[in-house]
Structures are given as C-alpha cells and as structure tokens.
Amino acid sequence: HDMNINTQTNRLNFDPLINNEIVDSMHMPMMNEEFVQSGNVDKDFIANMIPHHQGAIDSAKLILEYGSNEEVKEIEDFNELLANGDFSNSNLSEKAYAEFVAKEKENMAEMMNKMIAVTRTRDKKTADYTFVLAMKYHHEGALEASKQILAYTKNPQIRKIAKNIIKDQAKEIKQFDKLIEQGL
C-alpha cells in the first residue's frame, strides 16, 4: 500500500503539542493493547500487528485528510484470520517461544523509544517532519517484527503476510527518507 503524503496542503508549523499528539496517536494503540503472548508465534504476530496498523491509521488521520483504506482492510483481514485462522503448524519449544517473545518486546521497545525521541528533537520541526520521521520508525518496527516471524513460522499464510509487510513498508521507508532528505 502506497502512502501518498501531500505536504503542500497539510504544512503545519512547529507546535510541540501537535507533534506530541502525532507520535502519541501512533503508539497509543500498541500501549493500550496488552502484548499478546498466546504461546503461538503466528497468532501473536497477527494479534500484535493490529494495534500497530491502527496507530498508523490514527496518526495519518491527523496529518492527512483521510486515512489509509488499505491499512483498515488489513486490520479487518487480520481480525478475520485471528477468528478463523489455523495457527497449529508453527509450534515451538517453550525456550524458542520465550526467545521469540523477548525479541518482539525488545523490537517494540526500541521502536517506541525512537518514536518518542522524535518529539524531543531540539531542531523545531514541522508536524509533517514529525509524522514522517515517527512513521519511518513505526514502519521499521513492523519490518523487524515481520523479519522475525519469518525466522520462526512455518505457516504459509503468515509468511506471505510478513513478506508483504516487509515489501510495502520498505518501499514507504524509502519515500519517507526521500521526503526527509528534501528538507520536509
């Protein structure tokens, strides 16, 4: 899914409250939802990706005139998969599962810390810059979670979802880097 950011129509001057709201809206769904540890890596990946995508939508709504319909559709698909999916073929040992959970939590903490640091930047940036940089870190978190699940899962449906997230989010990260380079 392509995120087309129109910085001409939504150019906002530096405002720490707006910048904080942008970043908060991006990570609050993840903070408000309990980290899922079901004992099954495939189910955990899908369940924990829902609040991640919701944060992207909530933040985008503050910066754009409309949210990303593709992200909304993915959340619906993920909820359907959680309700009806087969999560039985990637069973791991307790040790391997504990390793997976520890890496997931470390990845999430690193992403959150980077996003929060965006609001503490000394160079007073615009809301556009805050959104793009925080979203870049947000996408990097999804990309890392997707790479990680690929190291554990045997489920072909989960592997396909993770590969699509990696492809799409890497493409958007490049777009974000280009916008930042251009002096957003």
Start-to-end CA span in the chain (Å): 22
Q: What does the pLDDT read at residue 87?
A: 79
pLDDT reported for residue 11: 42
Per-residue pLDDT, 136: 92
Buried b or exposed e, range 41-50, using 16+ CB within 10 angstroms = bbbbbbbbbb
* Residue numbers in the chain where pLDDT is lower than 50: 1-12, 65-67
User: The pTM is what?
Assistant: 0.74
Predicted confidence at residue 56, as pLDDT, reads 78
CB atoms within 10 A of CB 182: 8
- What is the pLDDT at residue 70? 66
* Mean of all residue pLDDT scores within the chain: 80
The dihedral region occupied by 50, where left means phi > 0, alpha psi between -120 and 50, and beta the remainder, is alpha
How would you class 60 by CB atoms within 10 Å of its CB: exposed for 0-12, middle for 13-18, buried for 19 or more? buried
- In this predicted structure, what is the pLDDT of residue 78? 86
| Distance from chain centroid for Cα 158 | 16
Cα separation, 123 vs 157, in Å, equals 43
Q: In 3-state terms, what secondary structure has residue 144? A: helix
How far is residue 114's CA from residue 139's CA, in Å, rounded to a whole number? 12
**pLDDT computed for residue 2 by the predictor:** 42
